[in-house]
Amino acid sequence: MDSKVVDLQNSTAYSNVGKPGSGANLGKTEFLNLLMAQMSNQDPMNPMDNEGFIQQLTQFANLEQLKNVSGQFDDLLRITSASNSANAVSLLGKEVRLNINQLKGPEAKVYYDLSENAKDVVLEVRDLKGKIIKSFSGMEAGKGLHQVEIKDLKEGEFTFNVVAKDAAGKEVSASLSVLEYVDGVNFSQAIPTILTSSGREISAGEVIEIRSSGVKSPSVSSQEQVNADLPDVVESGGDQLPDVEEQGGV
């Protein structure tokens, strides 16, 4: 081959190495030009072996795949964000159960979910300093989800916890949650937050259950409310009303 032709091919390959690609082919042309230049200028006595050539092609293919995957992840994030926003909007005007143990006075509906049957269950309400201000003993001790209506609290923030033990005195774990009514949604964060009727702002990611279609429970007479608050009592007398102890005169 004419040496002038070889020089022309080499200079053309080198001149194209620095030129950027366009669109989805960014980097492909540069890589191929660089590879051709390398092959054209390799030592004839020590040429590139097939393994080295294949290795370079594989590395380039992997980089190209990573770039495509990155673009797909960006699309997925945008779709997920839009889905999260739509889901949060669907909560407006509904009651939701939240995976938290914070509540606001003067009253709240809270839940505890026992991992197994217990013998003794005590629910404690604490102020932000950790002081127990209400204690409910004799609570329902069966495995599963139980609701408790806490009333006559002062205005403010509180937490609650459940201490449950089985017949052998072994501690039984309980997951806690609170019922809130959704008044609004805030989209300023990556994960939308819900605004509740109690004046709180909570991540929509804490929602574990939707409890109603958006219409608040109708008012009932005082006697009906008293009856609703009392647990069912069987004829054997095995069920007892929970004992409530108030600490500090709340």
Model pLDDT, residue 221: 35
Distance of CA 1 to the CA centre of its chain: 67
Structure pTM?
A: 0.56
Mapping DSSP onto H, E and C, the string for 64-96 reads HHHHHHHHHHHHHHHHHHHHHHHHHHCCCCCEE
Residue 202 buriedness (CB in 10 A; 0-12 / 13-18 / 19+): buried
Closest CA to 99 of 14, 175, 10, 211: 175
Q: At what angle do helices 3-17 and 28-40 cross, to 10 degrees?
A: 150
> Across 10-14, 85-89, 113-117, which has the greatest mean pLDDT?
113-117
pLDDT score for 226: 38
Rg over alpha carbons for the chain, rounded to the nearest Å, is 34
The reply to whether omega before 192 is within 30° of 0 (cis) is no
**Res. 164: pLDDT tops 70:** yes
Strands 108-114, 144-150: parallel, antiparallel or unpaired by DSSP? antiparallel
State which amino acid sits at residue 75.
D
Banded model confidence at residue 180, pLDDT cuts 50, 70, 90: very high
Question: Please, what are the domains in the chain?
Answer: 3-89 (no CATH), 95-213+238-246 (2.60.40.4070)
pLDDT tops 50 at residue 32: yes
State residue 218's pLDDT score. 38
